[in-house]
Each structure stands twice: as structure tokens, then as C-alpha cells.
Amino acid sequence: MCGIFAYKGSRDNAPEIVFEGLKKLEYRGYDSWGVTWKKNDGSISLQKQIGKISEASKEGIIDEKSHLAMSHTRWATHGGVTQKNAHPHLSSGGKVAVIHNGIIENYEEFKKRLGFERFRSETDTEVISELIEEYMKDLNFEEATKKVAKELKGRYAFIAMATGENRIIAARRGSPLILGVKEGEYFLASDIPAFLQFTRDVNYLDDEQMVVIDDKPRFYDLLTDSEIEKRLVTIDWNPQEAEKGDFDHFMLKEIMDQKETIIRAIDQNEEAILKIAEYIKNAKGVFLSGCGTGGKVCMAAEYFFSVVANRHVNFAPASEFPIYHHFLIPESLLIVVSQSGETADVLEAMHVAKEKGAKVLSLVNVQGSTVARYSDFSLLINAGPEKAVASTKAATSQLALLLLIAHAVAGKLQDGKKLLIETASQINDMLNPRFLTYIKEVADDIVHSDHTYIIGKAANYPMALEAAIKIQEVSYIHAEGFPAGELKHGPIALVSPGTPCISLIAEDEVKGDIINNTIELKARGAHIIGVAPFRHESFDHWIRVPDAGVASPIVNVIPIQLLAYYLSVLRGCNPDMPRNLAKSVTVK
């Protein structure tokens, strides 16, 4: 969840490098931040504060000259948001500094063993620095760090530096850690945007691996104690994709990126798509799984496979998937969806499937991510960096790719491509200044409402759930999504005169049913916002979308992304960094 970034190299402004790079990781956590660096006399200097790194001053940091520094932006798990709990953590003897992403499950055991009086914070992380310092009484820095990494339980990625040592050491298990490589310079981070302006060449650390960076990096397998080689990978991203440009927020930029990202998502090797289609056709039990927005995408894909390919697939949220182990066999296939490719619950679902011998296919947005590397087969959705916490362009890219795969299973790959190319063109036309102005006017009309309800049917029911997520997470308005036909079984009791209700409607076989449900809401006094390719008399506001056929979930969810964005801005919220949330959920 947290963002970690370290630098070692020929430049003497390492503190400034990690300070600025940390801002590019703020979507991973923004409760507090800190920077630590090696001083000329070999000692460690430290600065940390409560609040967002984007609002912090460089004063006291950029004046320092150093070739080695590391930084951290926090999403609190253990201990409240205080300066003492902020990272980096310096050992009580002042010899070791550590930054950490993840959760150390056996931290209380170490605190008890070392003595509670040594600890100044409520965090689990502090045990790492204290243990390394303790073990350095008998071992060198490298061996002490290796011993600690082996003893920790839970998921972690940590980076450590020590006084008198001109090197940094890092290890990972379950949380992402990536090494950026440039001649004479090394960048360690939890995500690529931190160092993308410097290099696109990376080494990915896998679980139970450690790297020691002095003159050059040395990699070790913690299970075998052996030195290993790592393959250098070049990332197909450019620094401009990770910047806001002329937009006020990343969320709006990423919504507008959807003019291009649908086409990029379906620009796949046809042989790979057909190979996946064969996997699905030959499997005895196909499961779709993801978390949050990824889960809602998987729910919509259930309908895609049913309607397009006459194929039954099963959906389960990744956090619930392990119970399905009773039904898994070697001929089963699990398809997982994850923007970051680092989601903890998704990785656990994959582990459960693989223990049963099942195959795993993944759709990810980050090349070389843990989910991608752990899969038997993986496809990139090619959405480019997504930095706003609320997923937008990644979600529609995932929908597009799964719809394309469903067409391939049906033997209609070219029909699917044609449909999605036409849909992408329609989205490009839809996202014009007049459309955005109208959505903002709708937001202005409902911004003071405490509750909003969204209904959908068939593949637009999962989009009603996704719409609720978007409105909840960035505007903090209570929003709920329902299957339209379930209104009469309870939810309609929530509707009173003036309650905003959004209907997601398509030109499909359930059109008549959801119009009737919308009329029922109108009869109870609801303020109806119709998202549809046609106008209906029940609509108080009509948000016109293209008639995209079976691709309607893609075009219907985009206006709600915009509505959520404008509600957030009108309510004085930060749509990029909603409270209590972080972009990549790497802890359970």
C-alpha cells in the first residue's frame, strides 16, 4: 500500500531525487512521508512529517548533498497517523534506517524479545531496523539484513541503509519491489513512475529475494542463500503518460485517455487471443476473479461469455475465492484481473488455484508485475500508468479485452474487433467539451444529496455496482448499485422524493424491463438520471451515450466516472487521493 523509493548513484542530490520521485508514488499512500540520506561523515540524517508529500516543502532536504537516499509515503496499517509512526524508522542506536511496505505479522514477538523500551512507534516496521542493528553486533550489514528477512512473517518489501555503509539492501516477499537501472545509477521503488524520468530498464525482484546495491547490484535467493542472475526488462511506458499535463487531476486525465486506451487494449496478438480462447473452451470450470473495480469487470464478463459465446463462467471476488478450492481440479482455469498486478487477495486466489494444479490467466496493466509473472499466461491491457486511486481507463480496457476474448471463444474474433473499434470511435466523439459541461451541470444538481442509487440489468448491473464505487470513493456520497429487478424486493424503500437515481440502459433484450423499473422509481419521486442511447419521458436528466450493443457497459460507465469526478470537485474533495484508500492494495 505504501510507496517506497531509494537512490544510489553518481549524482550528489540523492535527497532531492527521492523527494521528487516520492511525489509520483503518492497514490500509494498519503498519510505521512519521510526522507533519509547518508551524510558525508557516514551518519544518517532523517526528516519526516505528517501530511501529503505533494504539499511539503523541499527546505532542509535539497540543500543536503548525498549519493544515497531513500523515502517513503505511508498508508497507515499499524499505528495512527503521527510523526513517530511515519517512515523511515531509525534504530534506537541510530545505526540503521528502514522503509517498508507491507505487514510484519510477528512484530510483537520481536518487540517482546528485544524489549519494548527500545521502540518509539506503534508500527510493525520498527522491528526491522532494531533487528538489523541487533544482529550487526555479530554479523556484517549484509548478513544481518539477510537473517532478518528470513525471520519476518507476512508480506513485505523493505529497504535498509546503515551508518558507515555506502550501500543499500532490500528484500521482498509479497509486496512489489522494482530496481531501475541506468549506467552508474540505481533506483529502488514500489512502482515504476518514481524513476520513469531516469530509466525504463528494470529488474523485478521476486518473492524471497534480496538485492545488495554497492558498485553494482547483487541478487540473492533467500531460500537457498545463493547468488542469482536477474533479467533486465525494458518498460514500454513514457514519462509523459505518468504526468497530469494540462488537467487539474489525474482522474480527469485518465478518463479522457479513454479516447485511446480501448484501441490499445484490443491491439493484441491474435494468436495469443485464440490460444486463450482454446484454454477457455477446453477447461472444465472457468472462474473470473478480481477485487473492487476489477471484480465488477469480471462480473460483467460473466454476461459477455454468456451472451456472446454461450459459455458459462463463474465469478468470485478474489478475497472470497479460496473457498472455491473444493471445486478446483487441474483442468480448471482461473482468469484474474488486476490493474497493478500486485493485489494481495488476487495473488492468494492464484496460489489456491495453482495448488490444485489449475491454470491461471491474468489481465494486468503493469508489465512484469507479480501477477503477470506468476501466471501461466498473461495479457497487458496497455492502458498506460493509472495514478488516480479510482480506476477509470484500466476498467474500460479490461472490459474491452474480456469482451474481445468472449468473441474469440465464440469464433467471432473479427466481429469483436470491429465492434470495439467502432465503440472506441464513439467514445472519442462522446468525450467532447459540451458533454463534459453537461455532466458537470448534472453533478451540480445532485451534489447536495446524501444518497444516490444506481440500477442496471444484465451486464449493466455490475456497472451499477462499479458506478456506486466511483461515487463513494471520490465524493464520499453514500451510493449503492442494485440489479433493477430487485428494487421491489427491498431497495425501493430507500427512495423518497428528490432522491437521485441513475438508470444504466442499453438497446438490448432487457431494455423494456429496466425502463419499467425506472418508471417505478419515478413514481416514488426519484430524480431520474438516464444513461441511455435514447431519451425517455421518465428522465429528469438524459446523459446520451452511443448505442454500442453488447459493449454498452463500456460506454455507460464512462459518464458515471465523470459524474463522480465532478461531484468530488464540487464537494471540495481530492478525486486523486480519496480518504482511507490507496491505489494498490498489497496487504490483506
Give tens-digit pLDDT for 447-472: 999 999 999 999 999 999 999 999 99
1 versus 318: which is more confidently predicted? 318
Q: Does one domain contain both 423 and 390? A: yes
Q: Catalytic annotation on 2?
A: yes
Give tens-digit pLDDT for 296-323: 999 999 999 999 999 999 999 999 999 8
Q: For the whole model, what pTM was predicted? A: 0.77
Q: Does one domain contain both 514 and 427? A: no
Q: CA 586, CA 341: separation in Å to the nearest integer? A: 10
Phi-psi category of 572—alpha, beta or left, where left has phi over 0 and alpha has psi -120 to 50?
Answer: left
Of the three residues 235, 253, 281, the one that is the final residue of a domain is 235
Q: Does one domain contain both 438 and 424? A: no
Lowest mean pLDDT among 27-31, 156-160, 192-196, 254-258: 27-31
Report the 10 Å Cβ neighbour count for 518: 25
Pairing state between β 178-182 and 185-189: antiparallel
DSSP 531-584: EESS--TT-SEEEE----GGGHHHHHHHHHHHHHHHHHHHTT--TTS-TT--SS
Where does the pLDDT of residue 363 fall: very low under 50, low under 70, confident under 90, or very high at 90 and above? very high
Q: Is residue 515 part of a domain?
A: yes
Q: Is residue 526 part of a domain?
A: yes
The amino acid occupying position 485 is G
* pLDDT value of residue 242: 64
Does residue 88 have a cis bond before it (omega within 30 degrees)? yes
Domain count, the chain: 3
Of the three residues 431, 451, 475, the one that is the final residue of a domain is 431
Q: Does one domain contain both 444 and 534? A: yes
Q: CATH number for the domain including 500?
A: 3.40.50.10490
Q: CB neighbours of 549 closer than 8 A, spacing ≥ 6?
A: 419, 506, 507, 508
> Which of these is catalytic: 95, 150, 583, 588?
583
Q: Does one domain contain both 82 and 123? A: yes
Strand partners, 154: 104
Q: Does one domain contain both 74 and 180? A: yes
Give the residue carrying C-alpha cell 494540462.
246
Q: CA 101, CA 189: separation in Å to the nearest integer? A: 10
The amino acid occupying position 165 is E
Give tens-digit pLDDT for 391-431: 999 999 999 999 999 999 999 999 999 999 999 999 999 99
Exposed (0-12), middle (13-18) or buried (19+): which is 428, by Cβ within 10 Å?
A: middle
Q: CATH number for the domain including 35?
A: 3.60.20.10
pLDDT at residue 181 is higher than 80: yes
Report the 10 Å Cβ neighbour count for 84: 15
Q: Is residue 353 part of a domain?
A: yes
3-state secondary structure 480-501: EEEEHHHHHHCHHHHCCCCCEE
Q: CA 236, CA 247: separation in Å to the nearest integer? A: 23
Q: Which domain holds residue 489?
A: 432-576
Q: Is residue 514 part of a domain?
A: yes
Q: CA 145, CA 169: separation in Å to the nearest integer? A: 7
Q: Does one domain contain both 521 and 442? A: yes
Q: CA 48, CA 237: separation in Å to the nearest integer? A: 31
Q: Does one domain contain both 9 and 136? A: yes
Q: Catalytic annotation on 216?
A: no
Q: Does one domain contain both 424 and 513? A: no
* pLDDT value of residue 239: 62
Q: CB neighbours of 347 closer than 8 A, spacing ≥ 6?
A: 174, 370, 371, 374
Q: Is residue 584 part of a domain?
A: no
Q: Does one domain contain both 260 and 210? A: no
* pLDDT value of residue 61: 65
* pLDDT value of residue 286: 96
Q: Does one domain contain both 260 and 133? A: no
Helix spans in 173-269 (H): 250-256, 258-266
pLDDT at residue 476 is higher than 60: yes
Of the three residues 175, 206, 235, the one that is the final residue of a domain is 235
Q: Is residue 295 part of a domain?
A: yes
Q: Is residue 585 part of a domain?
A: no
Q: What percent of the chain has pLDDT over 70?
A: 97
* pLDDT value of residue 189: 92
Give the E-state strand segments of 291-434 in sequence order: 314-315, 333-338, 359-364, 377-380
Q: Does one domain contain both 402 and 500? A: no
The edge-to-edge listing of strands for the beta sheet with 333-338 is: 314-315, 286-290, 333-338, 359-364, 377-380
Give the E-state strand segments of 285-332 in sequence order: 286-290, 314-315
* pLDDT value of residue 387: 87
243 versus 505: which is more confidently predicted? 505
